Chain A
Amino acid sequence: MAGHELIERHLRTLAERLPDPVVDELADGLLASYDDQMERLGDPDAAAQAALADFGDADTVTAAFIRASPARHAAITLLVAGPIVGLGWGATLVTANGWTSAIPLPLRLTLGLLLGSVVLMLVTALREQRHYRTVRLAALGGAATVAVVDTLMLGMVVTLVPPPSLLLLVALSGSVARIMLAVRAVPTLITRL
Chain B
Amino acid sequence: MRLPDSVTGSFLVVLGAAAAYGGWLLPPVPGQPVGPNVFPLVIGIGLALCGLAIVFGIGHSFEEQEELIPIEDGQVAAAPPPQGKLYGLRALLPPALLLFYVVAADRLGFIITAAIMVYVTSTTLGAKWKLALPLAALSPFAIHLIFGKLLRVPLPAGLLPTPW
Is A bound to B? no
